[in-house]
Amino acid sequence: MNNPLARLVVLISGRGSNLIALAEAARNGAPYAIAGVISNRPHAAGLEFAHQNGIPTAVLDHTAFAERAEFDRQLAGIVDEMAPDFIALAGFMRILTAEFVDRYPGRLLNIHPSLLPKFPGLDTHARALKSGESEHGVSIHFVTGELDGGTIIAQAKVAVLPGDSERTLAARVLEKEHLLYPRVLSMLALGQIALGEDGATVVRTP
């Protein structure tokens, strides 16, 4: 018997290369479908990709909101209308309120370009270079109220090479991002991994 595809909503703010990787994996048989893309920026390039590929989109411009809580309430309304099983933040440059995050336990994920807990926040590649790391990479984690906190699900590493610039290092990490995010979402969609009831562990479900 074929299970229905899990529904994935992707939240973006910009380029959308992770969105594209997720959509390509879905086209190639991953066990989820992209039910919608939501951007907080009206001109995010990823929206164009979604339009061209027949993926429903919504824009909620954060600059129109005086209060974060109200933005998040409206965002939750749009997300819920798209009826996702999972919500993937993919370059979504907003800090979410606890009220929003707590609505989707075990269903809200983020991809972050560092080996967390190292380098939460911005400019991760420059910071990794500056601190002389020998390896760097990407983390995928469940989202909590803490910036780039939350239970880590998977990481992929790259070596930092002599002569690396922020650009070359970012490009090498991005290649790993594009492989890892679809993989993790596929495992979640199949129920092969899930957030543990204690909120602190990732468990394999039977």
Binding site for ligand GRF (CB under 6 A): 12, 14-18, 90-91, 111-113, 174, 177
To ligand GRF, the closest distance from the beta carbon of 72 in angstroms equals: 18
Of the pair 97, 124, the CB lying nearest ligand GRF is at: 124
Q: How many whole angstroms separate alpha carbon 159 and alpha carbon 110?
A: 22
Of the pair 111, 184, the CB lying nearest ligand GRF is at: 111
Please spell the DSSP secondary structure of 15-35, one letter per residue.
--HHHHHHHHHHHTT-SEEEE
To ligand GRF, the closest distance from the beta carbon of 114 in angstroms equals: 9
Catalytic residue chosen out of the listed positions 112, 125, 136, 178: 112
To ligand GRF, the closest distance from the beta carbon of 14 in angstroms equals: 5
Neighbours of 178 (CB within 10 A): 18
To ligand GRF, the closest distance from the beta carbon of 124 in angstroms equals: 8
Yes or no: say if 10 and 34 are a contact pair by the CB < 8 Å rule: yes
Q: Which residue is nearest to ligand GRF (CB)?
A: 91
Of the pair 31, 137, the CB lying nearest ligand GRF is at: 137
- CB neighbour list of residue 196: distance below 8 Å, 6 or more residues apart: 151, 202, 203
Of the pair 23, 35, the CB lying nearest ligand GRF is at: 23
To ligand GRF, the closest distance from the beta carbon of 24 in angstroms equals: 13
Question: Is 125 an annotated catalytic residue?
Answer: no
Geometric angle at alpha carbon 63, from 62 and 69, rounded to 5°: 45
Of the pair 90, 109, the CB lying nearest ligand GRF is at: 90
**Residues carrying an active site annotation:** 112
